[in-house]
Amino acid sequence: MKNKLLPALMLALLILQIAASFALISDGHTEIMPDVYVGIDISYGDVAEAKAVIDQVSSFTNLIVIGTSKITWYPNKLNETFNYAYNKGLSFISLPPALADRIFNASAQFVTRSEWYAYARSTWGDRLLGFYYLDEPGGRQQDLNRTWTGNLTADGSSYTDAAYRFTETVSLNLEHSRRNATSYKAFTADYSLYWFDYEAGYDTVFAEFGWNYSRQLNVALCRGAATLHNKEWGAIMSWTYTAPPYIESGEELYNDMVLAYENGAKYILVFDGNEGWTGGILKEEHLAAMRRFWDYVQENPGKSNPISDRTAYVLPEAYGFGFRGPEDHIWGLWEADSLSRNVSISVASLLRDYGEKLDIVYEDGLKPGDASGYKQLLYWNAYALPPPRISVMSPENITYDEGNITLTFTVNTPSPWMAYSLDGQEQITCSENATLSNLPEGHHNITFYAKDEFGTLGMSETIFFSVDLSDPFPLVPVCAVIVLVAVMIVGACLLVYLKKRKRQAANALRS
């Protein structure tokens, strides 16, 4: 009996495997999550415009974000747009559908909110990744610009209180917006306070690459927050200017997308919308850059630094600093404090030294004695800026036979100020290639100094050398001796020769 059942069981398992494989396929596109989502955030227009953009980019993207209320406030339009993207093989994110309690489905029939989400799940499956809620909550708080956090004030409160009120208020807003949609991921884009966005309940935050903000700094902040919250992160290429062309050049766009990808971003988006949300801003150079990036991703799969190869700079709990310079605000409420400059300079120095291998996290996200997988942790109150390192090639610890000596040295970091001190005297500014002229005879010493861009002073070891201008060998007397010896040798030879000739002559006469 067992022998008869075994083939039947194996056949049943094979059928289940085949069925599961086919269940993952729709219109030739698998439902398996890709390594990276690449797409456009459409923030203007109606269904026709969205379809036109999808047609334009579907060959080199796999994600569309519907960020225009002209579509999302009319769920029948949202359904039509999702269907179009789905049939093109794309995944999609959107603003949440209209917040009314009863909304239309594709057949224009009234349905409840929960019924629409059930319809969405059965129709588009995992291709509908989630919804975008409450744009830039952290950045708006930092700039006190239409905040989602209520009326936080500095009066009588603390950093800890501000952090609590921010996360609680954003969390409540998010919970209200997500009702009946908690099975879907919650997305937002931001440019500050990423850590607290994740604390409030977001599944994925897109770090905004825009303006003149440091891309690598925002990666360190957003990726670090996502890592310790066990969440995903992404990057969105946003505005660089407040007027046309709004966005950076095609070449700059490509470089930013590569940077995000090589730093491990799961989502890489390009924002397409002008100031009035009436049209797109992407030109052919930007689309060409996206095609080029798509090819780069196919040729270079899985490029990122594992956490075990990264260093984390650890900030104090609730320290909501803006990181746009040493004088940026804290929680948008307080001026920079005594810690701000040191933190800002330390992060700038660490980014210089570690680059894409640096994350920025908060100490309340770490367990005591546990590095959470990082290669090393550098705490805000235990990290000191390393001074510049100076290597001296000239002078050396030797004796020189001239008074003009070239100074040759290098500094391991950009240094706007360099100097030397000769024989313990006052420091003299110099470049990496200078000359000491007309040094007197005797013993000397020299020490080199350099300050990096943050004002940290470094100094070299002291070099000891001597100058001896006396002739090392008396050339004139030696030459005279050589001439005298030569004359004596020639004279002796002549004397011998003359004596020999005289004997020969005398012998001839005798004969």
Beta bridge partners of 222: none
Per-domain residue ranges of the chain: 27-304, 309-379, 390-467
**Which amino acid does the sequence have at 175?**
E
Quick one: how far is CA 353 from the chain centroid?
Answer: 12
Q: For residues 386 and 451, is the Cβ–Cβ distance under 8 A?
A: no
Tokens 């969205």 found at: 50
Residues sharing a CB contact under 8 Å with residue 377, sequence separation 6 or more, in sequence order: 311, 312, 314, 366, 371
3-state SS class at 130: strand
pLDDT band at 269; cut points 50, 70, 90: very high
What does the pLDDT look like over 370-418, one tens digit per residue? 999 999 999 999 887 788 899 999 999 999 999 999 999 999 888 899 9
Strand residue runs (E) in 395-471 = 399-400, 405-411, 417-422, 428-429, 433-436, 442-451, 457-459, 463-467
What pLDDT was estimated at residue 491?
Answer: 57
Helices (H) and strands (E) in the chain, counts: 13, 24
Arithmetic mean of pLDDT over the chain: 86
Q: Distance between CA atoms of 325 and 328, rounded to whole angstroms?
A: 6
Burial 447-457 (b: 16+ CB within 10 A, else e): bbbbbbebebe
**Residue given tokens 């705490």 in the structure block:** 379
Determine the Cα–Cα distance for residues 453 and 327; give it in Å rounded to an integer: 16
Q: Is the pLDDT of residue 339 over 50?
A: yes
Q: What secondary structure letter does DSSP report for 441?
A: S
Identical fold, 27-304 and 390-467? no
349 SS3 class: helix
Residue 81 and residue 109 in contact, taking contact as beta carbons nearer than 8 Å: no
79: three-class secondary structure by DSSP: helix
Quick: pLDDT tens for 481-498: 444 545 466 556 556 555
Closest CA to 68 of 45, 93, 91, 92: 45
Decide if pLDDT at 90 tops 50: yes
Give the span between the Cα atoms of 498 and 504, in whole angstroms: 10
CATH code linked to domain 27-304:
3.20.20.80
Q: Is the pLDDT of residue 305 over 50?
A: yes
Q: Would you state the pLDDT for residue 481?
A: 46
CA–CA separation, 184 and 331 (whole Å): 29
Q: What topology is assigned to 390-467 in CATH?
A: Immunoglobulin-like (2.60.40)
pLDDT at site 139: 95
Q: Give me the percent of the chain exceeding a pLDDT of 70.
A: 81
Query: What is the per-residue pLDDT for 505?
Result: 52
| Residue-wise pLDDT tens digits, 118-138 | 899 999 999 999 999 999 999
Q: What is the mean pLDDT of residues 440-445?
A: 95
pLDDT of residue 17: 40
Q: Would you place residue 115 in the very low, low, confident or very high pLDDT band (cuts 50, 70, 90)?
A: confident
Q: What is the pLDDT of residues 208-221, one digit of tens each?
A: 999 999 999 999 99
Q: Which residues pair with 93 in a beta bridge?
A: 65, 130
Q: What is the mean pLDDT of residues 42-49?
A: 96
Report the pLDDT value the prediction gives residue 5, as an integer from 0 to 100: 46
C-alpha pair distances (Å), 240 with each of 141, 370, 398: 21, 39, 56
**What CA–CA distance (Å, rounded) separates 79 from 66?**
11
pTM metric for this prediction: 0.78
pLDDT for 183 equals 92
Name the residue among 130, 102, 133, 129 with its Cα closest to residue 116. Answer: 102
Strand-pair partners of 253: none
**8 Å CB contact between 71 and 47:** yes
Give the model's pLDDT for residue 368. 86
